[in-house]
């Protein structure tokens, strides 16, 4: 046969052989492309129900054009040889990839969506597969699914269909029971014939197999397998299989055909819904076909290792992780996480070996606090919002503006500043949160006024020496301080001017944009006001103007140098009317003497036509020496300086508007955590919370 | 006879992927129907309503073709065979805040 012509196909090499036929690699002499040639054995043809039926169905299948369906080019007969010319797909069968342990959930979802899409196209054309199984689904090297043998597999033979591709590491069926039987729907076993419903059943079997490495209905004999299919429920799949995926599989495997999904498109939509939510991944190494960086529903992931440096970037349309090393010259971008949702606060918690990234997400579906322990590959998506106002408060959470870690001696403590202005505290590493009533019940609260961004508590500072002293900044309420851990709060705004009020120096009501403190000098605070730059040297009791030499004292962002208590960075903007950098020049200003004067840092920053805005949390520092400074703009650009602001580089552009930037140095991805990277924030400890990885677990009951 | 609640795509990860949920115990009002839905799929509650029990600002609930805002809100009566749709508002424009 090798070297012969079948029609216009030259037979090149034998690929495989089954009971019913031989599969060759062929070459199309007309179109000059390689093909798979399935040549049905003459004696097998005699056993067929009818060669005409085979030809008819194969020709019908050849009308299917879909990226996930292996194309049938031609069905022909030459010198009594019945052959089918097909697309040559190189890769592994899904069966091989699944192995004994199954695939990570993200791969199951990624492949499942493609298989369902292929089934949907075929069903729309009136074609039923009849023998869908993991052995006739091929995954190409770039992760593309190809479903083989639509409409013909059952007619010919499964062994032949497996040979239509050039397969690597192909392996024999492990079970003595026919592979086809284990995918067969109850109604098919009852002799009612195969239709769309039975294809969806088979899809459920494939998904179950891919998620677990096990068949849902197995047995040592044909009788046992048949009995299991007809009567038994498959063993439940728990974490790390997402509850949503398990629910989809269950609905595919309902015994009564009409209670399954109505169309393959519904399965595809359901898989995509789970896919676009939290993806809980098992060991990625299990997926031998996956590229080193996993692409999932448009989300890019970064592989983080010890010594890596991260930037956490929250934008109005999602979050990103930027990964680099200590040189911080080359960056890989992970994300976008939380498509389309506002991420106004992020934080890194590396305490006691955890590597937890926190993010707040805001959308029309509410505001949630989310976290990832695997650098963004999966995120919690709690059933209930953990941060919520009590029912007697009469108010509802609008946004989370700040996530802060507790002190060193408070290893499980976290704080969140929210809108409407309030402070929440967690003492169990973020599992549960409570409203700090001392501040919420403050008599001033009803007279605080929302600023342009809403009534937000956006800044939280902890005095590292006095464990009961804490500051918060509220826009527009001003600075408040507690000396007793939150029970009582006093306004600390003496000397801070309010331009928009008749009384220019009220007790409270200031629109404070940011305050910073250096842990080595906690009595000194710097403040960027809605008009005004200030410093206090007495724990916020009195403030004095330090706007010496800045083009405008209006601005949002303010960052403390990680080691030098007199050194602070700001980005002035022109006015509250025109909240862009002055004169179209993007300039960071730095003081090195506590505000006695400020110097412009411009090298590498655009100085013409740069009408930029840096929002209040969109600038941060790292812990290197010399310190790195980073900021993002409302126009979606990200800049960094490795030399404390003397020179700048643009890391990235084209992001959605940047709302927050935080940095983290990953000390060890397996042992103790990282050193603190933000002044005023102390490292502490978190407990294990593996149990929180399950994101949804709706009740199975119906009423 | 059962009442049907249609679940929009973004919420189906919390409804086991289902696009519609049948509720058979004849709720009298929209609030009763949603309470029944939230017992079946608890995670839907916080996505649809604030902690004060109000439907979120940019989510519209339709009973048949009527926006429930104009039929009595959560107190709107529902028939045993009502079709309830959860419809996210078309939103956009300024969302950048500081």
Look up residue A178 and give its two tokens: 């026919």
Q: CB of B35 within 8 Å of any CB in chain A?
A: no
Where residue A192 falls (left for φ over 0; alpha for ψ -120 to 50; beta otherwise) is alpha
Minimum distance, in Å, between the CA of residue B35 and any CA atom of chain A: 12
Q: Are A384 and B57 in contact (CB < 8 Å)?
A: no
The count of C-alpha atoms lying within 13 angstroms of the C-alpha of A251, restricted to the half-sphere facing its C-beta, is 22
Looking at the fold, whether A380 and A490 belong to one and the same domain comes out as yes
CA distance A389 to B51: 7
pLDDT reported for residue A669: 57
- Is residue A664 scored above 90 in pLDDT? yes
Residue A434 lies in a domain: yes
Interface of A with B in 230-269 (CB under 8 A): 243-244, 247-248, 250-251, 266, 269
Length of chain A equals 703
CB atoms within 10 A of CB A168: 11
3-state helix, strand, coil in chain A (%, to 5): 20, 30, 50
Chain B residues touching A578 at Cβ < 8 A: none
Residue with tokens 């902890």: A462
Radius of gyration for the alpha carbons in chain B, expressed in angstroms and rounded: 14
The last residue of a domain, from among A265, A286, A307: A286
Is residue A696 very low, low, confident or very high in pLDDT (cuts 50, 70, 90)?
Answer: very low
Say yes or no: A73 and A163 in one domain: no
**Mapped to the 3 state alphabet, what secondary structure does A120-187 carry?**
HHHHHCCCCCCCCCHHHEEEECCCCEEECCCCCCCCCCHHHHHCCCEECCCCCCCCCCCCCHHHCCHH
Q: What is the pTM of this model?
A: 0.63
Q: A223-229: long-range contacts at Cβ-Cβ below 8 A with a sequence spacing of 24 or more?
A: A225/A177, A225/A181, A225/A182, A226/A181, A226/A189, A229/A182, A229/A184, A229/A185, A229/A186, A229/A189
Percent of chain A with pLDDT over 70: 84
Tell me whether residue A234 is in a domain: yes
3-state secondary structure of A109: helix
Query: What's the CATH number where A389 sits?
Result: 2.130.10.10
CATH of domain B3-88: 3.10.20.30
Question: What confidence score (pLDDT) does residue A79 get?
Answer: 79
Flag whether pLDDT at B2 surpasses 80.
yes
Of B12, B39, B50, nearest to A273 by CB-CB distance is B12
Asked if A154 and A267 sit in the same domain, the reply is yes
pLDDT at residue number A160: 34
Same domain, A164 and A256: yes
Q: Which CATH number do you get for residue A152?
A: 1.10.510.10
pLDDT of residue B18: 86
Rounded Cα distance between A599 and A587, Å, is: 9
Q: What is the enclosing helix (H) or strand (E) of A245?
A: helix A243-252
B contacts of A699 (beta carbons < 8 Å): 39-42
User: pLDDT digits over A70-96, tens only?
Assistant: 888 888 888 778 888 888 887 888 998
For residue A646, count other CB atoms closer than 10 A to its CB: 14
pLDDT (tens digit per residue) in A539-551: 999 999 999 999 9
Q: Which residue of B has its CA nearest to A388?
A: B51
Residue window 588-607, chain A: list those with CB within 8 Å of chain B: none
Residue numbers of the domain that contains A415: 298-684
Residue whose entry in the numeric block shows the structure tokens 């929002």: A615
* CB contact at 8 A, A663 and A621: yes
Tell whether A323 and A175 lie within a shared domain. no
Euclidean distance between CA atoms A492 and A508, whole angstroms? 8
Tokens 């014939």 belong to A193
Whether B40 contacts chain A with CB within 8 A: yes
- Torsion, Cα A530 A532 A535 A538, to 10 degrees, reads -70
Same domain? A276 vs A338: no
Residue B33 CB coordination number (10 Å): 25
As a whole number, the mean pLDDT across chain A is 84
**Inside any domain, residue A691:** no
Which residues of A are catalytic, by number? 131
Q: What is the mean pLDDT of residues A47-73?
A: 69
pLDDT number for residue A283: 34
The tokens describing A119, both together, are: 């089934």
Cβ-based contacts under 8 A for chains A and B: 124
Pair A21, A98 in one domain: no
Residue A638 lies in a domain: yes
In this predicted structure, the answer to whether residue A373 has a pLDDT above a threshold of 80 is yes
Domain boundaries, chain B: 3-88
Query: Could you read off the pLDDT of A280-335 as tens digits, one per residue?
Result: 333 333 333 333 232 334 688 899 998 999 999 999 999 999 999 999 999 999 99
CA–CA separation, A103 and A210 (whole Å): 6
Q: Name the pLDDT band for A460 (thresholds 50, 70, 90).
A: very high
pLDDT value, residue A298:
65
Task: Quote the number of domains for chain A.
Answer: 3
Q: Is A692 a member of any domain?
A: no
Can you give the pLDDT at residue A673? 35
**Of A145-154, A249-258, A470-479, A481-490, the least confident:** A145-154
Residue in A269, A271, A453 nearest the CB of B97: A453
What integer is the mean pLDDT of A620-626? Answer: 95
What's the pLDDT score for residue A417? 98
Q: Could you give the ipTM of this predicted complex?
A: 0.92
Position A684 scores a pLDDT of 29
Q: Does B90 touch chain A (CB under 8 A)?
A: no
Least confident of A34-48, A395-409, A581-595: A34-48
Unique residue bearing structure tokens 């890019």: A300
Closest CA to A128 of A32, A55, A198: A198
Residue A604, domain member (yes or no): yes
What is the tens place of the pLDDT at every residue in A135-166?
889 888 778 899 987 755 544 333 333 333 33
The whole-number pLDDT of residue A18 equals 61
CB contact B57 to A (< 8 Å): yes
pLDDT band with cut points at 50, 70 and 90 for residue A469: very high
User: Is residue A172 in a domain?
Assistant: yes
A273, A303: one domain = no
Looking at the structure, tell me whether residues A47 and A173 fall in a common domain: no
Chain A residues with CB-CB distance to B96 below 8 A: 316, 634, 657, 659
pLDDT at residue A53, as a whole number? 54
Q: Which residues contact residue A565 at a Cβ distance below 8 angstroms, ignoring those fewer than 6 apart?
A: A518, A520, A521, A524, A594
Q: A694 in a domain, yes or no?
A: no
Express as a percent the part of chain A with pLDDT over 90.
Answer: 56
Contact B51 A699 (CB under 8 A): no
Residue that finishes a domain, picked among A48, A68, A87: A87
A529 and A636 belong to one structural domain? yes
Question: Could you tell me if A133 and A119 are in contact, meaning their C-beta atoms sit under 8 angstroms apart?
Answer: no
DSSP state at residue A659: E
- Please identify among residues 388-407 of chain A the ones whose CB lies closer than 8 Å to any CB of chain B: 388-391, 394-397, 399
Residue A31 has a pLDDT of: 86
Please give the average per-residue pLDDT across B61-83, as a whole number.
Answer: 94
Instruction: Name residues 280-319 of chain A within 8 A of B (Cβ).
Output: 316
pLDDT exceeds 80 at position A386: yes
Tokens (6 digits) for A370: 């989310």
- Residue finishing a domain among A235, A258, A286: A286
Greatest mean pLDDT among A92-101, A309-318, A684-693 lies in: A309-318
Contacts of B50 in chain A (CB under 8 A): 366, 396-397
Residue A212 predicted with pLDDT over 50:
yes
Residue A406 reports pLDDT greater than 50: yes
* A462 and A322 in a common domain: yes
Q: Which residues pair with A419 in a beta bridge?
A: A399
Q: What is the pLDDT of residue A244?
A: 82
The string of DSSP codes covering A430-449 is: TSS-EE-HHHHT-TTGGG--
Asked if B88's CB is within 8 angstroms of A273's CB, the reply is no
Local confidence band at A623 (pLDDT 50, 70, 90 cut-offs): very high
Mean predicted confidence (pLDDT) in B33-51: 92
The pLDDT of residue B64: 94
Q: What is the pLDDT of residue A699?
A: 29
Q: Are residues A69 and A106 in the same domain?
A: no
């Amino acid at each position: 046969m090798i070297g012969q012509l079948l029609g216009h196909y030259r037979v090149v090499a034998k690929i495989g052989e089954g009971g019913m036929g031989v599969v060759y690699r062929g070459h199309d002499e007309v179109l000059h492309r390689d093909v798979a040639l399935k040549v049905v054995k003459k004696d097998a043809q005699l056993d067929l129900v009818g060669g005409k039926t085979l030809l008819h169905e194969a020709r019908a299948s050849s009308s299917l054009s879909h990226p996930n369906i292996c194309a049938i080019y031609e069905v022909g007969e030459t010198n009594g040889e019945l052959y089918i010319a097909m697309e040559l797909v190189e890769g592994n069968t899904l069966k091989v990839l699944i192995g004994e342990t199954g695939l990570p959930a993200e791969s199951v979802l990624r492949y499942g969506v493609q298989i369902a899409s292929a089934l949907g196209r075929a069903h729309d054309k009136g074609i039923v597969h009849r023998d869908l199984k993991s052995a006739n689904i091929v995954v190409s090297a770039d992760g593309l699914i190809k479903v083989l043998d639509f409409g013909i597999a059952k007619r010919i033979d499964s062994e032949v269909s497996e040979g239509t591709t050039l397969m690597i590491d192909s392996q024999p069926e492990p079970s003595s029971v026919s592979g086809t039987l284990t995918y067969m729907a109850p109604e098919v076993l009852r002799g009612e014939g195969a239709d769309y419903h039975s294809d969806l059943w088979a899809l459920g079997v494939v998904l179950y197999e891919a998620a677990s490495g096990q068949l849902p209905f197995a047995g040592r004999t044909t009788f046992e397998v048949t009995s299991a299919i007809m009567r038994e429920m498959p063993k439940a799949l728990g974490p790390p299989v997402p509850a949503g995926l398990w629910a989809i599989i269950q609905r595919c495997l309902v015994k009564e055909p009409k209670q399954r999904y109505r169309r393959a498109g519904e399965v595809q939509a359901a898989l995509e819904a789970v896919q676009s939510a939290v993806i809980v991944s098992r060991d990625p190494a299990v997926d031998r076909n996956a590229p080193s960086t996993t692409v999932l529903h448009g989300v890019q992931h970064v592989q983080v290792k010890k010594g890596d440096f991260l930037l956490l970037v929250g934008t109005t349309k999602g979050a990103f992780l930027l990964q680099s090393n200590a040189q911080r010259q080359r960056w890989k971008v992970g994300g976008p996480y939380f498509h389309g949702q506002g991420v106004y606060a992020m934080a890194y918690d590396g305490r006691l070996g955890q590597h937890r990234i926190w993010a707040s997400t805001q959308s029309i579906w509410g505001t949630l606090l989310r976290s990832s322990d695997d650098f963004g590959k999966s995120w919690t998506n709690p059933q209930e919002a953990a941060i919520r106002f009590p029912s007697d408060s009469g108010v509802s959470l609008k946004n989370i503006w700040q996530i802060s870690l507790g002190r060193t001696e408070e290893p499980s403590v976290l704080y969140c500043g929210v809108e409407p202005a309030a402070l929440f505290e967690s003492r169990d590493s973020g599992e549960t949160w409570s409203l700090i009533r001392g501040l919420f019940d403050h008599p001033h609260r009803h007279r605080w006024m929302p600023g342009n961004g809403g009534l937000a508590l956006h800044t939280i500072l902890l005095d590292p020496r006095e464990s009961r002293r804490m500051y918060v900044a509220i826009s527009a309420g001003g600075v408040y301080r507690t000396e007793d851990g939150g029970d009582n709060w006093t306004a600390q705004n003496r000397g801070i001017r309010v331009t928009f009020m008749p009384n220019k120096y009220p007790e409270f009501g200031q629109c404070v944009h940011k305050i910073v403190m250096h842990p080595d000098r906690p009595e000194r605070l710097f403040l960027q006001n809605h008009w005004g730059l200030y410093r206090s040297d007495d724990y916020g009791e009195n403030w004095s103007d330090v706007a010496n030499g800045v083009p405008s004292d209006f601005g949002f962002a303010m960052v403390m140098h990680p080691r030098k208590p007199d050194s602070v960075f700001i980005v002035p903007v022109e006015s509250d009317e025109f909240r862009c950098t002055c004169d179209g020049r993007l300039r960071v200003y730095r003081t090195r003497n506590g505000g006695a004067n400020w110097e412009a840092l411009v090298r590498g920053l655009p100085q013409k036509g740069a009408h930029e805005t840096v929002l209040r949390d969109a600038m941060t520092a790292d812990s290197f020496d010399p310190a790195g400074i980073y900021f993002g703009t409302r126009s979606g650009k990200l800049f960094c300086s490795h030399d404390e602001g003397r020179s700048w580089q643009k890391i990235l552009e084209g992001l959605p508007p940047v709302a927050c930037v935080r940095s983290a140095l990953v000390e060890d991805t397996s042992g103790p955590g990282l050193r603190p990277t933000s002044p005023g924030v102390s490292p502490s400890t978190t407990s294990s919370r593996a149990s929180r990885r399950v994101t949804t677990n709706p009740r199975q009951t119906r009423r | 006879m059962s009442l049907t609640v249609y679940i929009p795509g973004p919420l189906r990860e919390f409804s086991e992927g289902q696009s519609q949920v049948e509720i058979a115990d004849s709720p009298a009002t929209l609030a009763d129907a949603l309470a029944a839905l939230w017992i079946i799929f608890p995670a839907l509650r916080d996505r649809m309503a604030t902690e004060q029990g109000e439907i979120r600002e940019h989510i519209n609930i339709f009973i048949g073709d009527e926006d429930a805002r104009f039929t009595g809100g959560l107190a709107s009566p529902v028939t045993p065979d009502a079709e309830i749709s959860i419809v996210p508002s078309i939103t956009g424009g300024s969302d950048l805040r500081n």
